[in-house]
Amino acid sequence: MIGHGATLTGSLTGAIGKLTNIDWSGLVADDVDVTDFDSPDYCREYEPGLLDSGEITGDLRYDETLFNTILDAVLNRTTEYWTLTKGTKSLVIPGYLKQLALAVPDGTQMMMPIAIKGTGKPQYPSSSSSSSSSSSSSSSE
């Protein structure tokens, strides 16, 4: 899928600029070792543990008018709802902006690499409203 038109918006910070690269590391379940002396065939046994909602990392084109807004979001260390939208699909992850950097490559545009640490359950609001999805999506705006 081509990323043209994808946006990343914080519920407090707002839209944070022109994305050129975005990556969500995804959900990862911890492994809980439940092995005991009765485990069959001398094999370890595991159950799924807590989920980690991962990180959203990406690159933004440097925008002087947005730099202070993004810097304040890092300095304020506030959890907010981050919405990654592409067309009619969106992913909402509660998290905090944990990294802002500047990259100044020779002969090309300045970039602002960012990282957002997920802190809770991701939501996938549907494009058609239902009572449960509209209540969860309205709490994330």
User: What are the tens digits of pLDDT across the range 63-120?
Assistant: 888 888 999 999 999 999 999 998 899 999 999 999 999 988 888 889 999 999 999 9
Letter for the amino acid at 135? S
CA pair distance 92, 123, nearest whole angstrom: 5
Q: What is residue 139's predicted lDDT score, i.e. its pLDDT?
A: 45
Q: What is the mean pLDDT of residues 56-68?
A: 90
Tokens representing residue 116 in the block:
């957002």
CA pair distance 73, 58, nearest whole angstrom: 16
CA pair distance 69, 85, nearest whole angstrom: 20
Q: Which of 69, 95, 78, 93 is nearest to 17 (CA)?
A: 69
| 60, burial (CB in 10 Å: exposed 0-12, middle 13-18, buried 19+) | buried
For the beta carbon of residue 13, count every other beta carbon within 10 angstroms.
Answer: 20
Q: Which of 21, 136, 34 is nearest to 90 (CA)?
A: 136
Q: Assign 127 a pLDDT band (cuts: 50, 70, 90).
A: low
